[in-house]
Chain A
Amino acid sequence: MKDFDSLVGIWNEQKTAPVIDYKEVISHYKESRGKLRSKFTIEIIAMLLALGVVTYVLFTTDFQFWTSYIGLVIVQLCCLYFIIMQVINISTIANSNTLFDQPQDHIQFIQQFRKSRYVQHTRNYKVYTLVLGLGLSLYFIEFFYRLNLALMIGVVVATLAWFIICYVYLMKIYIRKEEKRFNEMLEDLERLNKQFKDEA
């Protein structure tokens, strides 16, 4: 039979030690910060380019149908939405200093942040896909009268197929996975929240 002091004695005998040193931490920080920054930069630049192309087409092409203008404006709004959400996410992460807060406050921040990410990844993404699909559909109306029939059918079928695959198959799998992860996470955070409540 051992008492707690004996366990402390055992604890003090341990030789467990970290395998990293401070230099590794500094170099890892510089490396990972660079990677993260370039990932976000590439995503935003790609979307800005797409937005630029759509804007250019919108202002330089003389469309016969008003639907084309509406369609392209909707596509522009989708691009803008994507960029704004990326910027909001980056600034939320960068400005969150809840690491210094008490565990309970930090847990609550993480809960809220994950909830908002979950809504973005599921409900908002669904709406985003539908709105983008609507924009492109409106834009394609003009194609019926401008392109030859075979090419038109090819473009419409390819676009429709892509949307159907995304919406019916890929997105459902993605949302199911997100839901599972979210529910597990919520359960864990709620349990931790209870543990850190200031009551003995």
Chain B
Amino acid sequence: MSNKEQVFKEIFQANSKKIYHLCFGYTGDVDAANDLLQETFLKVWQNLDKFRNQSMISTWVYRIAVNTCLTYLKSEKRQAKDELTPNIIENKEEETSDKQEQIKTLYQCIAKLEENERIIITMVMDEVPYPEIAEISGISEGNLRVKIHRIKHKLTELYNQHERL
């Protein structure tokens, strides 16, 4: 394995799961999320040399993923689905447990948020530090905190409404 491949493998393994969550939260669709993940890492591979001197590689990977998501929606005209397909959860052959139902509901609620809100909240839930989210989204930290507060409230409301139905 070449040095480049080794570096890429490490970046992929360290970031792919979180980037997948971001893509999935954004599109609400398994196939689209996998396409977006692939597209994001294609661009990472293509620009790997430019990453070498960056201290926060994950920020750049996230930045590429966010920009890829935004462009992808435009080019493919896919919209986040209100009704998620049942196979959104891995191990679909297993009987749908309460936990899985809750995860499905959570993704359905995320799909109802605005595009930038979906992006920000998936990063918050994956515990990306606030300064990094601010750097990725281009929003100042102060404004971001206010935004996050609103999105948290909105998502919790949506979830609880959904549960009451």
Given A15-B89, A188-B74, A195-B116, are A20 and B43 also a contact pair (CB < 8 Å)? no
Partner of A2, one of B34, B60, B140, B160: B160
B135-165 interface code vs A (CB 8 A; 1 in, 0 out): 0011110111011001011011001100100
- A181 to B41 Cα, complex, angstroms: 27
**Contact residues, B19-69 vs A (CB, 8 A):** 20-21, 24, 33-34, 37-38, 41-43, 45-47, 50, 60, 63-64, 66-68
CB pair A26–B34 under 8 Å, yes or no, is no
With an 8 A cutoff between CB atoms, is A28 at the interface?
yes
**Contact residues, A1-59 vs B (CB, 8 A):** 1-4, 7-8, 10-22, 24-26, 28-29, 32
- A18 to B117 Cα, complex, angstroms: 22
Kindly provide the distance from the CB of B2 to the nearest chain A CB, expressed in whole angstroms.
Answer: 10
Interface size class of A (residues with CB under 8 A): 35 or more
Closest residue on chain B to residue A185 by CB atoms: B74
CB pair B74–A106 under 8 Å, yes or no, is no
Kindly provide the distance from the CB of B63 to the nearest chain A CB, expressed in whole angstroms.
Answer: 6
Kindly provide the distance from the CB of A197 to the nearest chain B CB, expressed in whole angstroms.
Answer: 9
CB pair B103–A16 under 8 Å, yes or no, is yes
CB pair B5–A26 under 8 Å, yes or no, is yes
Closest residue on chain B to residue A196 by CB atoms: B116
How many chain B residues touch the partner (CB < 8 A)?
63
- A196 to B103 Cα, complex, angstroms: 27
- A110 to B125 Cα, complex, angstroms: 29
Given A29-B42, A189-B74, A192-B116, are A4 and B63 also a contact pair (CB < 8 Å)? no
A70-102 interface code vs B (CB 8 A; 1 in, 0 out): 000000000000000000000000000111111
7 contacts across the A-B interface (CB closer than 8 A): A16-B21, A18-B33, A22-B9, A25-B8, A28-B38, A103-B67, A195-B117
A157-195 interface code vs B (CB 8 A; 1 in, 0 out): 000000000000000000000000100110011011001
Closest residue on chain B to residue A104 by CB atoms: B138
CB pair A25–B42 under 8 Å, yes or no, is yes
With an 8 A cutoff between CB atoms, is A200 at the interface?
yes
A98-118 interface code vs B (CB 8 A; 1 in, 0 out): 111111111100100010000
Given A18-B34, A20-B38, A22-B8, are A200 and B116 also a contact pair (CB < 8 Å)? no
A-contacting residues of B (Cβ < 8 Å)? 5, 8-9, 12-13, 16-17, 20-21, 24, 33-34, 37-38, 41-43, 45-47, 50, 60, 63-64, 66-68, 70-71, 73-74, 77, 88-91, 99, 102-103, 106, 114-117, 125-126, 137-140, 142-144, 146-147, 150, 152-153, 155-156, 159-160, 163
CB pair B147–A200 under 8 Å, yes or no, is yes
The residues of A that contact B74 with a CB separation of less than 8 Å are 110, 114, 185, 188-189
CB pair A198–B140 under 8 Å, yes or no, is yes
The residues of A that contact B34 with a CB separation of less than 8 Å are 18-20
With an 8 A cutoff between CB atoms, is A62 at the interface?
no
